Amino acid sequence: MVALLARMGQREWAIVAIVAAVLLGLMWYFLVTQPLQGRIPEIQAEVDRLTTERDRGRAAQRALPQLRETIARLDAERQQFLRELPPTEQLGRVLSALAQTARESGVVLRTLSRGAGDNQGVSNVRATNLAMQVESPFPELYVFLRNLEGFQRFATVSGLNLTLGGGGPTATVAQATNPTINTSLTMTVYTYTGQAQPAQGGQPTQPGQPGQPGGRP
């Protein structure tokens, strides 16, 4: 082998060098260049995704001061709304107003019971459920529910359940065409238990009293 290499001339060494260079070039192409070319679409997609996220982040950063201002304004409005709730249940006044609303609407208030309500996790607010059952034809019931919308107290109505009554073979024509509906529902009233802030002039506010804004369910 040594004698063979010793007999090789300059041309043979040049051929060997060319062949070695070609082999190294092929190995570099198949082992390095081709795998990298296959990753180009994946890398480009990742670049596009990161660019989109960067643009969104910059847009969110530009909108951050306005968002903070909006959050502060909404929180102030929420606190003001809560302070407008009455500081006591005033249950007697509520029951009297409900009875009057029922009479004016033409419905019969069968039962009315009080229970603890869910304040939905809102601090400084106590909820009181007033479960009631009323009886009337549908037109009077509709008027009653509409009047509850204008109830002068922040309240919500839930659990509305309607069942037909007064039917059967002995029912009159009027009862058959305009049947009595037995309705059960729950009205929840809310009371602010936090510390009331003084109004202008140093006088404490009395939410829910005459002259103060009322509420709608």
- What pLDDT, in 10s, does the model give residues 102-111? 999 999 999 8
Q: Is residue 99 within 8 Å of residue 93, measured between CB atoms? A: no
- Helix ranges (H only) for 91-195 are 91-105, 138-149, 173-177
- What pLDDT, in 10s, does the model give residues 73-92? 998 888 888 777 888 878 88
Is residue 216's pLDDT more than 80? Answer: no
Contacts (Cβ under 8 Å, ≥6 apart) of 50: none
**For the structural domain made of 91-192, what CATH number should be given?**
3.30.70.60
**Residue-range domain boundaries for the chain:** 8-84, 91-192
3-state secondary structure of 13: helix
pTM of the complete model: 0.54
Residue of 161, 158, 127, 126 whose CA lies nearest to 141: 161
Q: Give the pLDDT confidence score for residue 41 in this predicted structure.
A: 86
Which of the two residues, 104 and 175, has the higher pLDDT score?
104
Q: Of 68-72, 128-132, 141-145, 192-196, where does mean pLDDT reach its minimum?
A: 192-196
Burial category of 191 from C-beta neighbours within 10 Å (exposed 0-12, middle 13-18, buried 19 and up): buried
- What pLDDT, in 10s, does the model give residues 126-154? 898 999 999 999 999 999 999 888 887 78
3-state secondary structure 51-111: HHHHHHHHHHHHHHHHHHHHHHHHHHHHHHHHHCCCCCCCHHHHHHHHHHHHHHHCCEEEE
Is residue 167's pLDDT more than 80? Answer: no
Q: Give the pLDDT confidence score for residue 5 in this predicted structure.
A: 60
Rounded to whole angstroms, the Cα distance separating 170 from 175 reads: 10
The values of phi and psi at residue 101, to 5°, are -60, -40
Q: Give the pLDDT confidence score for residue 92 in this predicted structure.
A: 87
Residue keyed to tokens 């009631």:
132
